[in-house]
Structure 1
Amino acid sequence: MAKDEEKNSQASAAPNEGEVKAKQEQTSAKEPAAKAGETEKVADLQKQVEELTKQLDDQKDQNLRAQAEMQNMTKRFKKEQAQLLKYDGQDLAKGILPVLDNLKRALEIEVEDENGQQLKKGIQMVHDHLEKALADHDIKEVEALNQPFDPTTQQAVQTVAASGDQKPDTVVQVLQAGYVLHDRVLRPAMVIVAQ
C-alpha cells in the first residue's frame, strides 16, 4: 500500500500530460501576440527616432544657414561701410569742382593795375588752399595734357590733326580738368585729342 500511496502522491504531484500541453499551448499562443505587440512598439519607436533625427538634422541645417547668412550680412555691411567712408566726400567734391574751375578761369585773366594784381594774388591763395584741401582728401586732378588718351578718365570733345611732334591719340589741350577720388572718377577731363 505504501507503493500505491507513493504512486498517487507522485501522480497528484506531477501534472498530467494534458494539463501540461494545455498550458504550453496557452503560453505559446500568448507569446506571438506579445511578440507582435512588442515588434509594433519597437517599429513605432524606431519611426519616431527617425523622424526626430530628421527634424534635428533639418534644424541643424537651418541653424548653419542662418549663421552663414549672418556672417555674409556682416561682411557685406562692413564692406559697404568701408566704401561709404572711402568715398565719403564724393558729392561735396563734385559740388566744389565748378568753383575750382571758376578760380582757374579768374587766374587766367591778365591784369595790369595794382588792385587787380592784389585781387589775383588773393584768388591764387584761395585756389591753392582749395586744391590742397582736395588733395588732403585724395582728390586728384587727372593728368591729361600730352598724355595718351584714356577713355576711362578723359572725354574727347574734339579731335584735331596731329602736327609735327604730336603722336596720334595724344591729348593736345585740356578744356576742363578731370578729377578722381581714390580710384573713382569724379569727373572726366574734357580734352582735345590729336588724330
Structure 2
Amino acid sequence: MSKNEEIEEIEELEETTEEAVEEISVEETLKQELSEMEDKFLRAQAEIVNMRNRHNKEREDSAKYRAQNLAKDLLTALDNLDRALEIETNDEHGESMKKGIEMVREGMLHAFKEAGVEEIDSLGQTFDPNKHQAVQTIPLSEGQESDEIVQVLQKGYILHDRILRPAMVIVAQ
C-alpha cells in the first residue's frame, strides 16, 4: 500500500467515524426529544385526569349542597312556626290552630331531614365556636360545667357537614 492509499483510507475512516458520530448525535437528540414528548404527554394525561376528578367533585358537592340556599331561607319560617307553637291557647279553635302549625312544622322538618339538614344539638353540650354563637355568659351554677350551654335562644342547623346557621346560646362560665 502506498502512502497515498493509506492517507485515502484514513480519510475514509475519519469520514465514516464522523458520519457515525453525527448519526449517534442525531439519534441521541431524537431520543431526548422523544423523552420530552413522552413527559409532556404524561403530564397532559395527568392534567386531564385531575380536571375530570375536580369536575366530578364539584358536581357531587353541587348535588350534595343544592338545598343550602332554600334551607337557609326557610329557617326563619321554621323559627316563626316554633314561636307560634309557644303561644298559650285557651280554646278549642286555638288548639286546633296549634295542631295545624305543628303538622306544618313536622312536614318542614321531614323535608329538611330528607335534604340532609339537621338541628344542631346544643342544650347541655360544651360550647363549640364552630357550631354555636355565644350571645351571653352567666356564672356557673352548682352542677354545671365550664363552657356548658345552659339555654338555646335560636336553634342552629347543619347541612351534611356545613353549618347553615350557628345556634345562638347562653353559656355558663
Amino acid at match of 1:153: K
Alignment partner of 1:44 is 2:22: yes
Unaligned runs of 5+ in 2: none
Percent of paired sites with the same residue: 46
Amino acid at match of 1:101: D
Distance (whole Å) between structure 1 residues aligned to residue 50 and residue 65 of structure 2: 22
Tell me the equivalent position of 1:74.
52
Tell me the equivalent position of 1:114.
92
Amino acid at match of 1:182: H
Alignment partner of 1:90 is 2:71: no
1:124 to partner: Cα distance: 1.1
Larger radius of gyration: 1
Question: 1:23-172, aligned counterparts within 5 Å?
Answer: 24-172=2-150
1:105 to partner: Cα distance: 0.7
Q: Which runs of 4+ in 1 moved over 6 A?
A: none
Distance (whole Å) between structure 2 residues aligned to residue 167 and residue 56 of structure 1: 70
SS in 2 for 1:132: helix
Alignment partner of 1:177 is 2:169: no
Distance (whole Å) between structure 2 residues aligned to residue 99 and residue 69 of structure 1: 46
Unaligned runs of 5+ in 1: 1-20
SS in 2 for 1:175: strand
1:155 to partner: Cα distance: 0.8
SS in 2 for 1:180: strand
Amino acid at match of 2:113: A
Tell me the equivalent position of 1:186.
164
1:159 to partner: Cα distance: 0.7
The alignment yields a C-alpha RMSD, in angstroms, of 1.6
1:36 to partner: Cα distance: 1.9
Tell me the equivalent position of 1:8.
none
Q: Which moved more, 1:37-46 or 1:184-193?
A: 37-46
Amino acid at match of 2:165: R
Q: Quick one: higher RCO (CA 8 Å, sep 6+), 1 or 2?
A: 2
In the alignment of these two chains, the number of paired residues is: 173
Distance (whole Å) between structure 1 residues aligned to residue 22 and residue 147 of structure 2: 83
Amino acid at match of 1:161: P
| Residues 1:33 and 1:167: Cα distance change in structure 2 (over 3 Å) | closer
